Copies of this chain bind each other. A is one copy, B any other.
Amino acid sequence: MSASLLSPASIAIIGASKTPGKVGHAILANLVNDGFEGDIIPINPGAGEICGKKCYPSLAEYGSRIELAIIVVPPAAVLQAVRDSIAAGAQAIIVITAGFKEVDTDGAAAEKEIATLCKEHRVRLLGPNCLGAINAHHNMNASFAPHMPPKGGISVISQSGALCTAILDWAASRKLGMSKIISMGNKADLTETDFIEILSADDQTRVIVGYLESIDSGKEFIHAAAAASAKKPLVIFKSGVTSAGGKAASSHTGSLAGADIAYGAAFRRSGVVRADTFEEMFDYAMAFSMQPLPRGDRVAIITNAGGPGIMAADAVELSGMKVSPLEKAHASALRSQLPKAASVSNPIDVLGDADPQRYVQAVEAALDDSSIDALVVILTPQAMTKPAETAMALAHCSHPEKPVLVSFMGGLDVKEARDKLITHSIPDYPSPERAVKALKAMWEYRRWLDRPPRVLTRFPVNRHRVQRIIGRHLRIGQMQLGEAAAKAVLAAYDFKVPKGGLCANRDEAVSLAEEVGYPIAMKIASKDIIHKSDLGGVKLNLSDRQAVMDAYDLMMLRMREKVPGAQIDGVYVEKMCKRGREVILGMTRDPQFGPMLMFGLGGIFVEVMKDVTFNIAPVTYGEAMQMLESTRSFALLKGTRGHAEVDLAAIATALQKISQLVTEFPQIKEMDINPFMVGEVGHGSIAADARITLSKEILK
């Protein structure tokens, strides 16, 4: 299929036009003028010949089979054009025409009909409402964008056609080589997931760049993106930090998770290099498509001016990478080559009058040096500087494992040099900071590639027990599990919970208290009472029989007064937990990406400082531990003056168990364990309180 779309032998343009300025003319002209070598068949009832190509009134009149159909007719005529194309043997169809899902519900219905028709005939569909597709390596500009880029290794998929034109125009001005450019339009059939798969298998694509406003199928996206990232970098700029997260949420976890958090977690999981701005998208793509990934984070800076060298050094250190000195031997060898006033410490200052030769000496010294992993080379156009010659000299300096990124600063005087750098695969940036940021993206991707293999733990659990509890609740339509039931679920999944149980009357409460041992906690058991403690429905640290009786009587009195008519099942009595560090573990389901696990330190850290992290279930032990490590308050868990380190492994394992639970039971919509009490290593941990909400639908 992808061959029929991106490198077909023949293309029919249904709605080809004689009139310059019309889209139906522009596409045909682009195919012809940009050198497409296959058959080009314009279809238009009126025209005889366009751009030197014989025009047929219909596909039926043409008579032969076509491989790709491009449809540019008005919306009402598109369905018939699709039928005709299928009849003519088209394996892929691009619908350029707008006026479908993006306009109204009628448009959406028409779009669906077209997509269904294509699906029935196993014909893949790009669009509708798109700019088309370009394959530079096939000389195919099947779009109405005026610039055919030079051949190169960057492929682009974009949810905005206008952005494609801007990208192509920008790439043309920088002489940047591209491979495929795909405008996805309304994504009626082919989506980002399909193109990520197609481009990851495409040998002419070195890096995939995506501009996305939405993702159509979260799980499939993660799967495809992770598979692609394992082969080549996938740079994504996601716009639209929408308020889709504004759904009603009954748990802490739900109220803290937003749509953008889910996207962030999905991108991290699948190795996506996330660009935060339009410019970063191409800053990163240039670096990835032109240079090898670094093996480490030690950066050498070479400059002909002090100031920009300091800027670069600041940027490297702020990024978390290192400005490392050369080895002594290399430093002194370079010392003997450079003028006295030059500096061979890092930044290496080759001085304002540096000629190309001096740059090469410094660059080669750094490339040869085993204590350097990457180079940032800066040039400012001073009186004696030869930018273009320096660019050409740098073009011969390369290393299979050390990226060289360049910033030739300025405008007119460096224009020719900057073009030369790009055409010789040396990524060049207008400022040192942008070069460093691109290098950082390379280093992070390298670390993702080198991560340990993902091993998911399977804990031995009592799945049947949870099945029964959930089934019982769903049958009577009770979506909120009571404390007893929630703790029973956790106990079945190997969590330690306080000894205790539901007591229907005072005598049972006293008798259970005697059995589990004092001090105990007592909580009202009623699905009608939400804010238990505010209403006097929670009593802690009851230390003897009398206290239990008093608490029971008082609690019933209060509930009768304050929540008359509430259905009360009794009280929940349990042994008080030993003190420990309180953390919150939770899960909410993102509509796109499914179960999102949450971790945060209890109390003010979650409620006031919102210091929480999320990850997509299922998680490995390492991923669970990373969730702990990426909170700002992690240092508190690691132990501080007067406090020992808590049992971090116990928390990470608990997150993995939640991960298994919510993966195995899609009926669980949200859950919190709050607090999960964790002591020092070896002192155990316990789920002190829990809340589980079910859903009637089977969730993803």
Check B412–A147 contact: CB distance below 8 A: yes
A636 lies within 8 A of chain B by Cβ: yes
A23 lies within 8 A of chain B by Cβ: yes
Give Cα A410 to B241, complex, Å.
Answer: 24
Q: Find A635's partner among B240, B384, B609, B640 (CB 8 Å cutoff).
A: B609
Q: Find A314's partner among B21, B241, B352 (CB 8 Å cutoff).
A: B241
Question: What residues on B are CB-neighbors of A691 within 8 Å?
Answer: none
Residues 590-617 of A contacting B (Cβ, < 8 Å): 604, 607-609
Question: What residues on B are CB-neighbors of A304 within 8 Å?
Answer: 162
Question: What residues on B are CB-neighbors of A163 within 8 Å?
Answer: 305, 307-308, 380, 409
Q: Find A411's partner among B172, B412, B632 (CB 8 Å cutoff).
A: B172
Give Cα A310 to B279, complex, Å.
Answer: 15
Q: Kindly provide the distance from the CB of A642 to the nearest chain B CB, expressed in whole angstroms.
A: 10
Q: Kindly provide the distance from the CB of A518 to the nearest chain B CB, expressed in whole angstroms.
A: 26
A211 lies within 8 A of chain B by Cβ: yes
Check A146–B307 contact: CB distance below 8 A: no
Residues 226-246 of A contacting B (Cβ, < 8 Å): 239-241
Question: What residues on B are CB-neighbors of A315 within 8 Å?
Answer: 277
A432 lies within 8 A of chain B by Cβ: yes
A459 lies within 8 A of chain B by Cβ: no
A370 lies within 8 A of chain B by Cβ: no
Encoded as 1 (CB less than 8 Å from any B CB) or 0, chain A from 554 to 569 comes to 0000000000000000
A2 lies within 8 A of chain B by Cβ: no
Check B146–A413 contact: CB distance below 8 A: yes
On whether A383 and B23 interact (CB within 8 A), knowing A170-B409, A314-B241, the answer reads yes
Encoded as 1 (CB less than 8 Å from any B CB) or 0, chain A from 276 to 303 comes to 0111000000000000000000000000
Question: What residues on B are CB-neighbors of A173 within 8 Å?
Answer: 410-412, 415
Q: Find A166's partner among B166, B172, B279, B308 (CB 8 Å cutoff).
A: B308
A633 lies within 8 A of chain B by Cβ: yes
Question: What residues on B are CB-neighbors of A306 within 8 Å?
Answer: 160, 162, 213
Interface residues of chain A, those whose CB is within 8 Å of chain B, are 21, 23, 26, 103, 144, 146-147, 158-163, 165-166, 169-174, 211, 213, 239-241, 277-279, 304-308, 310-311, 314-315, 317-318, 341, 352, 380-384, 409-415, 430-434, 604, 607-609, 632-633, 635-636, 640-641
Q: A239-B310, A241-B318 are in contact. List 8 more A-B contacts (CB 8 A).
A: A21-B383, A160-B305, A166-B409, A169-B381, A277-B431, A277-B434, A608-B640, A609-B635
Please, could you name 24 A-B residue pairs with CB atoms under 8 Å apart, sorted by A?
A146-B383, A146-B413, A147-B412, A160-B305, A161-B352, A163-B308, A163-B380, A165-B380, A165-B410, A166-B308, A169-B381, A169-B413, A171-B411, A172-B412, A239-B310, A239-B311, A240-B310, A241-B314, A241-B317, A277-B431, A278-B409, A279-B433, A604-B640, A608-B633
